């Protein structure tokens, strides 16, 4: 794998850290800026909406710009956004800075995925995408815990300064290792939008959104689940989350290999596994060791879908791969926000925390059904192709 992929992974590590680390710093932010915890929590929602809305707009607006310069520019926006977060004098300024930071998130992962896939041989494309996304998974394993600890020790602003420094390292790595001339597809604005009318593209994005809803409807509340149901200490929760992060990293690499060799069987297999493992968590959550094993396996199967779905989008949106890939990131973040909301509704209804994984399993079943529909339609198109050629 070329070193350019590691440059993209470093940037992905920084972006992933800044997205999720705020969850561990809500008490510090709330106290320092004089806002409630729920209000501080909206900083997460604001970021997600920035990704959902800003990503596609940026992908379209920059469709004709050179890829290396564009990726460097988005990384610089990321650095600027984090510096503004560190300097924010009040809540409103911090929210604006978070949204600015989020603007580059979806487009960077979307366009970066297309660039990564183009840097390697055709049979290694998904593994290249997975390697880039390894930066995102490592952000959950290392970046978020370390960023949270730093923020608790030296103040929450220090975390954003540290993430800005990671962004500087990513810029230097991209300047050195990214090729000067990265091939790019020239297309029209109309062609970019036409891709949204393809059923295969819409179904792939729907699967990304549903897979994200399934994951975050449960994972958003993993700390209270582990503490109140499993009986894990606060320190133990951190270790459990690290274990889950290890699973995410392994799942990303597994998904890359499956996508390069057996794309559709891998899709079905991982979708089935998500349903079974999430449902099993409702039973294993009552014991520390069974819960730990389940979290590890859940991380693997849940994130194995990521490179599979990303490669599907790039292939199906071949007329506008950058927009399609970026929209897939928007779908994932929309699912993130929806999953957190859905899990909150279920918990607020009085459902026992131990039963919450059934919600994730139910949404996972919708992902599986959508995958089956996708494969059915793809096979029908393949059957019609020879008939059309003969006619």
Alpha-carbon gap, residue 140 to 12, rounded angstroms: 11
Which pLDDT does position 374 carry in this prediction? 92
Regarding predicted confidence, which is higher, 152 or 271?
Answer: 271
Residue 50 has a CB neighbour count (10 Å cut-off) of 23
The DSSP 8-state label assigned to residue 178 in this structure reads S
CATH superfamily of 1-183: MFS general substrate transporter like domains (1.20.1250.20)
Take residue 89 and report the two structure tokens written for it.
């004098």
Cα 327 → chain centroid: 12
pLDDT at 385 over 70: no
Quote the mean pLDDT of the chain.
Answer: 87
Give pTM, 2 decimals: 0.82
**Helix 125-138 with 91-118: angle, nearest 10 deg:** 150
How far is it between the farthest Cα atoms of the chain? 72
Contact 47, 99 (CB under 8 A): yes
Provide DSSP, 41-62.
HHHHHHHHHHHHHHHHHHHHHT
Which pLDDT does position 316 carry in this prediction? 83
What percentage of the chain has pLDDT greater than the value 90?
42
Lookup result for tokens 């059309």: 388
Ramachandran quadrant class, 255 (left: phi over 0; alpha: psi -120 to 50; beta: rest): alpha
Alpha-carbon gap, residue 281 to 267, rounded angstroms: 21
Contact 330, 51 (CB under 8 A): yes
Selection from 370, 377, 373, 378 nearest residue 206 by Cα: 370
Cα 40 → chain centroid: 21
pLDDT at 154 over 80: yes
Which pLDDT does position 49 carry in this prediction? 84
Q: How confident is the model at residue 387 (pLDDT cuts 50, 70, 90)?
A: low
Instruction: List the chain domain ranges.
Output: 1-183, 185-391
Instruction: Spell out the CATH class of 185-391.
Output: mainly alpha
Alpha-carbon gap, residue 112 to 108, rounded angstroms: 5
Which pLDDT does position 386 carry in this prediction? 62
The DSSP 8-state label assigned to residue 63 in this structure reads T
In this prediction, residues 285-312 reach a mean pLDDT of 93
Pick from 54-68, 81-95, 97-111, 300-314: least confident: 54-68
Alpha-carbon gap, residue 84 to 82, rounded angstroms: 5
Query: Does 185-391 match 1-183 at the fold level?
Result: yes
The count of C-alpha atoms lying within 13 angstroms of the C-alpha of 7, restricted to the half-sphere facing its C-beta, is 21
């Amino acid at each position: 794998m070329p070193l350019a992929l590691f440059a993209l992974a470093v940037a992905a590590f920084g972006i992933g850290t800044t997205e999720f680390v705020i969850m561990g710093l809500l008490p510090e932010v709330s106290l320092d800026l004089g806002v409630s915890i729920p209000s501080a929590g909206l900083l997460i929602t604001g970021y997600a909406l920035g990704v959902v809305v800003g990503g596609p707009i940026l992908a379209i607006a920059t469709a004709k710009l050179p890829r290396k310069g564009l990726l460097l520019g988005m990384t610089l926006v990321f650095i600027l956004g984090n510096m503004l977060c560190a300097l924010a004098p009040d809540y409103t300024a911090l929210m604006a800075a978070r949204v600015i930071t989020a603007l580059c998130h979806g487009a960077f992962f979307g366009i970066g995925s297309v660039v990564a896939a183009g840097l390697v041989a055709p049979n290694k494309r998904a593994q290249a995408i997975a390697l880039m996304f390894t930066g995102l998974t490592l952000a959950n394993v290392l970046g978020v815990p370390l960023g949270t600890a730093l923020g608790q020790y030296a103040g929450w602003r220090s975390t954003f300064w540290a993430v800005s420094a990671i962004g500087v390292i990513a810029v230097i790595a991209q300047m050195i290792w990214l090729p000067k001339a990265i091939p790019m597809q020239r297309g029209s604005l109309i062609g970019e939008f036409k891709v949204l009318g393809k059923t295969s593209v819409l179904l792939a994005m729907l699967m990304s959104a549903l897979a994200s809803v399934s994951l975050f409807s449960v994972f958003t509340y993993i700390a209270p689940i582990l503490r109140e149901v499993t009986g894990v200490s606060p320190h133990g929760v951190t270790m459990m989350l690290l274990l889950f992060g290890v699973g995410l990293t392994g799942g990303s690499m597994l998904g890359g290999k499956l996508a390069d060799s057996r794309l559709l069987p891998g899709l079905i297999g991982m979708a089935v596994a998500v349903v079974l493992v999430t449902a099993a968590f409702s039973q294993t959550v009552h014991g520390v060791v069974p819960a730990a094993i389940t979290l590890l396996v859940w991380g693997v199967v849940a994130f194995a879908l990521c490179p599979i779905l990303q490669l599907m989008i790039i292939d199906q949106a071949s007329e506008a791969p950058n927009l399609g890939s970026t929209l897939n990131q928007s779908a994932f973040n929309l699912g993130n926000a929806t999953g957190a909301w859905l899990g909150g509704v279920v918990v607020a209804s009085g459902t026992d925390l131990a039963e919450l994984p059934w919600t994730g399993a139910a949404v996972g079943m919708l992902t599986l059904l959508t995958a089956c529909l996708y494969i059915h339609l793809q096979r029908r198109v393949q059957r019609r192709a020879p008939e059309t050629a003969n006619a």
